[in-house]
Structure 1
Amino acid sequence: MTTVVEFPPLRRDRRVHGWVFSSAVSQIGDMAWYIGLAWSAAQVTTPAGVGLVMGIGALPKALILLYGGALADRFDARRTMILANLGRIVVLAAAAAVVGLWGVSLPLLLTVAVVFGAVDAIYAPASGTLPRRMVRSDDLVKLAAGSQLANRLAVFVGAPLGALLVAHGGLATVMLVDAASFAVIALALAYLVRPRLPRAASTGTSIRADLRDGFGYLRRDGRARTLVIAFFGLNLCVGPVLAVGLVQRTHSAGWGPGALGWFQACSGISAAAGAILAMRWKPGNLARAGLLALIIQAAGCVMIGVVPRTIVFLAMAMIGFTAGLASAQLSAAFQQTIEPSYLGRTSSIVNLSDEALMPVAMTAFGAFISLTSIPLACAVLGSAFAALMIWSAARVRPEATQALSR
């Protein structure tokens, strides 16, 4: 007998509201922790040591991420997320106690960063399986856009909060605030955020078999493979331009750090506007619409290398707006397209481009700038990005985002 699942209107869905709100609270705590960690590291070690502290968490995350994806498809994702948050709380509480007794030290900061990286590798793939099971397929874009808006607001709140807390209360205070934010999302997951749709778990005989099957799924399913390739290109093309190219252009032009901050603010505000549009506009083919919108983003990447300062604001607005719009559309398309029992593994493969390949991409892009010039480097990477999005859009057929509710 088939059970009919009732979905309340999204605007009155307490489970969705609880998920979005608790995730934003957790993001505020994470951002505050990031600021507190960076500032505290600067007080106890050299610039090289600061770089090690801020980057070392990516290593365990990259190593464990695929394993975390397999776990997400094999076990109950909600319980995995609750346990991960409880683990973070224990680590932060213990670290705050150590700071209170013996003060801040480099080994302590490195230990917490490594543990957090490992826990993130378990938590992130599990969280990627929830949206498809909580709302109607037609509401996935609105959920993705609403989550994006809430998280961007959380970043704006969390950064100054972290600076305030570490300045007046020290790192232990930041740790306790971050622990409280993890408690909020753990409680929301335990008592409010419950998936409505069942999901078939992976059926491999082992985690290793599940991992092989995950890559095999991408070989078999061309639509899923195209989306994964497009996400890889998006992550590896835009990130280096914004993190390296924009900084180098601003520095070489003598515009000063203030201009860099305003550029980023312009992008953030525009991204919020793009997310709002995503809530109201639903094209027939979400994947294709999102991929074609990113061609505008690629043009913004090219512009960063050549246009004057006033037009860089336009380029950042183009990048931000299309990021807000396309991220919501592509996130929903991804949820609709991927077979539910492979969501965790596929999400972890996509996330791996950020964790393992992004440092390589940024280093290579910086070297390319040194060998050529900022305008040429931005033009080459932006053009490659546009070509990849055109190729991906041509391969995503209209039915690609119309997967059945399974």
Structure 2
Amino acid sequence: MTTTAPVIPGRAAAERPAHRDGNVLRWLAAYTSSMVGDSVYYLALSWAAVQAGTPAQAGLVMTASAVPRALLMLGGGVIADRFGPRRVVIGSDVVRCAAVLAVAVLLFATDPGLWPLAALAVVFGTVDAVFLPAVGALPARVTSHGQLARVQGMRGLGIRFASVVGGPLGGLGVALGGAAAAFGLAALLIAVSVPLLLSVRMRELPSDDKAADAGGTAWHELVAGLRYIRRHRVLAPLMVAITLGDLGFVGPLNVGLVLLADERGWGAVGMGWVLAGFGVGAGAASLLLTVRGRLPYAGHTAAYAVLGGSVAIGALAQAPGVAVAAGTALLVGLLAGLSGALCAALLQTQSDPAYLGRVTAVASLASLGLAPLSMPLSAAAIGAWGTGPVFAVSAMVCGLGGVVALCVPGLRRAELPR
């Protein structure tokens, strides 16, 4: 079976729209199945942890993935670039599937307590440190640069589908067979991605896209990747903009929203409508990129979307009722989804493919390692000063990302390939 395809300039097939490319659709199906499996896994893990221990112990189990993921993420980017993203993603899914299935069997046979759940969380976090950079590097190897914006839109639709479907599927698994059944379902969904990925053809790297540091030690490759980002006129400010945007976004839209709904007396139903508004907006942004394939003035558009989204985040805390809050959240989702997809597409198209695993690792570390730290800080700050001031400060931090994008000429003028 042929698993690589050379890049042949000028061929019409190379510019086939991604949503009509069977190779891209197989990748999307594999990615979506894996993401739905992740959603089911996290629900099963939280349910099993709550049943086996105290709420505090369950919280520790749920956060056990974060430490190895943050510590090992940069090394995961080196591995993705050295061994190839497809091979790393397949290996990661095999390990994740085996670990989840082992815990499912253990839960079915006995009542092991919290320790196997904590061990599973640590294994999952460790594998995620390799999996996430490889997943980010994979789209550039399955389609042409001109289709990467559309692929990011398709990826966003896959994420939205997983978030909508994963929860009910996990709940159904728990209802029918307890946590063991839900873990088994998660393992099955992750396993489905493996044969799909095996059928995906990879584009070979042109000789001028191969990293000059190939063949060195892992540390040398990591340092070379960080140096490559620091010296890049677009990637360096883009990393700053992504980090600021995530730091200002994650706290209010996670912990802050729960506390806002409680403060205003909206209840769980009201919070659900606000979350639904955000999901609809983010899905609309992904659909727009999927249909259009490319937006002109990508740097400008991403910057103004970040600025507009930051204003909407601040306004969310001032919403007088659920309906206005849901509409504001829809605007936040639309602008955040648009800026996030454009930043991801710029990251993909501006990076040399041989460095893309390390570039993705740095971006993922900012989003999944640093940004979650804002959640406990946001909760403590809201407890001290209320939702309005904290949402306003978060909006300003997020807006700084847009300011960076507008002030740095290389990023402001960045365009997506045609």
TM-score, with structure 2 as normaliser = 0.91
Say whether residues 1:335 and 2:348 are aligned partners. Answer: yes
SS in 1 for 2:201: coil
CA separation in 2, counterparts of 1:262 and 1:358? 25
Superposed CA RMSD = 2.0
CA separation in 1, counterparts of 2:19 and 2:275? 31
Change (3 A) 1:48 1:395: same
Say whether residues 1:73 and 2:81 are aligned partners. Answer: yes
Q: Is the 8 A contact 1:334 1:401 kept in 2?
A: no
Alignment counterpart, residue 195 of structure 1, candidates 199, 202, 206: 202
More deviation in 367-376 or 391-400? 391-400
Residue pairs, 1:312-391, within 5 angstroms: 312-391=325-404
Residue pairs, 1:244-283, within 5 angstroms: 244-281=255-292, 282-283=294-295
Alignment counterpart, residue 87 of structure 1, candidates 89, 95, 98: 95
Post-superposition CA distance 1:321-363 (Å, at most 9, x none): 1123222222111111122222111111111123332342222
CA separation in 2, counterparts of 1:219 and 1:228? 9
Amino acid at match of 1:54: M
Q: Which residue number corresponds to residue 178 of structure 1?
A: 186
Q: Which residue number corresponds to residue 241 of structure 2?
A: 230
TM-score, with structure 1 as normaliser = 0.93
- Give the gaps of 5 or more residues in structure 2: 1-5
Kindly state the Cα deviation for residue 399 of structure 1 after the two structures are TM-superposed.
5.5
CA separation in 2, counterparts of 1:278 and 1:56? 35
Aligned residue pairs, count? 403
CA separation in 1, counterparts of 2:215 and 2:304? 37
CA separation in 2, counterparts of 1:226 and 1:363? 27
SS in 2 for 1:151: helix
Kindly state the Cα deviation for residue 232 of structure 1 after the two structures are TM-superposed.
0.7
CA separation in 1, counterparts of 2:291 and 2:178? 43
- Give the gaps of 5 or more residues in structure 1: none
Kindly state the Cα deviation for residue 149 of structure 1 after the two structures are TM-superposed.
0.8
Residue pairs, 1:111-150, within 5 angstroms: 111-150=119-158
CA separation in 1, counterparts of 2:56 and 2:231? 44
More deviation in 215-224 or 36-45? 215-224
Post-superposition CA distance 1:100-119 (Å, at most 9, x none): 22235200110111101111
Post-superposition CA distance 1:175-212 (Å, at most 9, x none): 22212112211111112x12224262542521111111
Change (3 A) 1:217 1:255: same
Amino acid at match of 1:60: P
Kindly state the Cα deviation for residue 30 of structure 1 after the two structures are TM-superposed.
1.3
More deviation in 389-398 or 1-10? 1-10
Change (3 A) 1:272 1:337: same
Alignment counterpart, residue 290 of structure 1, candidates 285, 302, 307: 302
Q: Which residue number corresponds to residue 42 of structure 1?
A: 50
Post-superposition CA distance 1:66-87 (Å, at most 9, x none): 1101111111221111111111
SS in 1 for 2:371: helix
Kindly state the Cα deviation for residue 403 of structure 1 after the two structures are TM-superposed.
7.4
Amino acid at match of 2:354: S
CA separation in 2, counterparts of 1:88 and 1:111? 12
Kindly state the Cα deviation for residue 99 of structure 1 after the two structures are TM-superposed.
1.7
SS in 2 for 1:89: helix
Q: Alignment identity in percent?
A: 31
More deviation in 131-140 or 161-170? 131-140
SS in 2 for 1:279: helix
Post-superposition CA distance 1:273-320 (Å, at most 9, x none): 122222344332223212211212101110122221232122201111
Q: Is the 8 A contact 1:337 1:401 kept in 2?
A: no
Say whether residues 1:305 and 2:317 are aligned partners. Answer: yes
More deviation in 242-251 or 67-76? 242-251
CA separation in 2, counterparts of 1:276 and 1:321? 10
Q: Which residue number corresponds to residue 251 of structure 2?
A: 240
Amino acid at match of 2:203: R
More deviation in 328-337 or 355-364? 355-364
